[in-house]
Chains A and B, each alone.
Chain A
């Protein structure tokens, strides 16, 4: 019986695979690793997986969201409170968006420090499309959280409007492009940008960004998606206060990936310079990196200048991001409107200091390491032989325990759902997904090869 099922499965898979050979699908090579890889190697794939999660949850949220100025906030409240599973989908959508931005940033810095953009490995187009995709990710997240039309959205839309109007020479036209003839045009423009235009452009760019060999690590994927669901339960997304045209905004802050820019805007330079010109120059600088760093060295310590620049930039990002949440003094919490303006002298001085300190420290450290290494070259550490550390009996025991946990959590999640404890459901579903990832990992460690090798590898 089991043999028959197995044979049928294999034959079906073969049949499908032969037909797929005539499609463009055959050009993509899927690599399913048989052991634990460094998560750093998977950052790009994880970003893509978050994109997929956002696409699925976002498509479902479309069924209830109303893209009008009067109706949008109410429809989000309805999704939150009345629609079955609405809060869950919204939570997952929100946390996946944060995760996507964060993963994209880490992914970029990981490849920056590893010099994966270099001409030696013909990485320029991968790098350039990555920079553009990163900027589009932030724009996508920005247009997304504006669609709620709460006070946080109002602040973001205000700044977006001010930045387009502030552009020299073409400001009034840019403003009209963003706003149209009034608030209802703006709502629909942000809406179509968020649900169609930007995602479609990102999909097209992905064709130029995804390498031909594509690592799909099922355990890590499941654990990341599970973590998103888990976080959604632990830190449920807020609704915020409805944006009322006649009520002053008070203290509201942008999402964490924009507080850095907000700190610049608050430091009393011209808002267009702070919010559009500086980030634009930054993007251009990042796009130009492959054309500035041209030699053949790839390691961190052989490129002390670029390594130190990267670290100094991370220092700046952390400083400005934290400052965006704080008062005029970074050590003081933001409590009243009078705390909003930041003294540009102190702000810029601390930026220069933190850049200089990180730059000098890192540059000096790697120069010193290089000199030391020349003085006394060290032998590489001997490689440990690989061994399998799970016996058949242990594997079965582990799997049974994990499946028992999944069964238990399925029951308790159902119970939590029936009693209406919606955050607990999310936590438990998240853990179920994580457990699945662990189970899959246990099997591949035992087999030392991917479970569905035949399906996915060509």
Chain B
């Protein structure tokens, strides 16, 4: 057999080997599941529970996952917001501060991380200070629904990925609770 023929056959064998491995590449979806979590509609509180400028903590969608603790915030102007608590910097759990501990935001409420000093804005959880501002992603937003009759507050979903955070977009983010 000539050298050229042999090289050609070798090349065909390599192509065939690659083609037989190709169908196995989607295995990545087994390791990185496309559906991160299911989001049930769950009651988390009532409008009469919180006074303005306060917050409470709840688990969603799981029940004991440390990275699925969230906070329902009532802003000073009476509006409701809910965010996941995992900081985008090093995954510590953030808290709502009715009065910021930083001189820069004196007298204003902030969301702050106790570990490395990241600061977020309570109205949309955009990073405004500390290492999170450098990373540039905000906290995961929880979609809220308020039942008009009973005043019960429900969570219906999440915007962003817990731990990774979300790219804050003032226009498209569903910040306002839906009234039902």
Please measure, in the bound complex, the distance between the C-alpha atom of A182 and the C-alpha atom of B89, giving whole angstroms.
Answer: 18
Given contacts A165-B164, A271-B90, contact A183 B66 (CB under 8 A): yes
Answer yes or no: B174 CB below 8 A from chain A CBs.
no
Answer yes or no: B75 CB below 8 A from chain A CBs.
no
Answer yes or no: B37 CB below 8 A from chain A CBs.
yes
Size of chain A's interface in residues, with CB distance under 8 A?
Answer: 36
Counting chain B CB atoms within 10 Å of each CB, which of A69, A165, A180 scores highest? Answer: A165
Residues of B within 8 A of A175 (CB): 161, 163-164
Residues of A within 8 A of B135 (CB): 166, 270-271
For B131, give its contact among A159, A180, A182, A268 (CB under 8 Å).
Answer: A268
The digit string for A176-202, where 1 denotes a CB below 8 A from any CB of B, is 110111111000000000000000000
User: Separation in Å of the B42 CB from the closest CB of chain A?
Assistant: 16
Closest to B65 in A: A183
Answer yes or no: A380 CB below 8 A from chain B CBs.
no
Given contacts A161-B163, A162-B90, A181-B37, contact A246 B69 (CB under 8 A): yes
Which residues of A240-281 have CB atoms within 8 Å of chain B's CB atoms? 243-246, 248-249, 265-266, 268, 270-271
Please measure, in the bound complex, the distance between the C-alpha atom of A284 and the C-alpha atom of B151, giving whole angstroms.
Answer: 59
Q: B93 and A246: CB pair below 8 A? A: yes
Q: Which of B4-12, B45-53, B109-117, B121-129 contacts A (4 or more CB under 8 A)?
A: B109-117
Size of chain B's interface in residues, with CB distance under 8 A?
Answer: 32
Answer yes or no: A340 CB below 8 A from chain B CBs.
yes
Answer yes or no: B72 CB below 8 A from chain A CBs.
no
Answer yes or no: B67 CB below 8 A from chain A CBs.
yes
The digit string for B80-93, where 1 denotes a CB below 8 A from any CB of A, is 00000000111111
Answer yes or no: B172 CB below 8 A from chain A CBs.
no
Residues of B within 8 A of A70 (CB): 64
User: Secondary structure at chain A's binding surface: helix, strand, loop or mixed?
Assistant: helix
Q: Which of B16-24, B28-36, B142-150 contacts A (4 or more CB under 8 A)?
A: B28-36
User: Separation in Å of the B33 CB from the closest CB of chain A?
Assistant: 6
Please measure, in the bound complex, the distance between the C-alpha atom of A246 and the C-alpha atom of B64, giving whole angstroms.
Answer: 10
Answer yes or no: B57 CB below 8 A from chain A CBs.
yes
Please measure, in the bound complex, the distance between the C-alpha atom of A178 and the C-alpha atom of B66, giving whole angstroms.
Answer: 16
Residues of B within 8 A of A246 (CB): 57, 66, 69, 93
For B33, give its contact among A161, A181, A244, A271 (CB under 8 Å).
Answer: A181
For A337, give its contact among B65, B89, B115, B165 (CB under 8 Å).
Answer: B115
User: Which residues in B have some Cβ–Cβ distance to A below 8 Å?
Assistant: 28, 31-33, 35-37, 57, 62, 64-69, 88-93, 114-117, 131, 134-135, 161, 163-165
User: Which residues in A have some Cβ–Cβ distance to B below 8 Å?
Assistant: 69-70, 154, 157-159, 161-162, 165-166, 171-173, 175-177, 179-184, 243-246, 248-249, 265-266, 268, 270-271, 337, 340-341
- Listed by A's residue number, 10 A-B pairs whose Cβ atoms lie within 8 Å are A162-B89, A162-B90, A165-B161, A165-B165, A173-B28, A246-B93, A248-B115, A268-B131, A270-B135, A271-B89
Nearest 3 A/B pairs, CB to CB: A245-B66, A158-B91, A176-B32
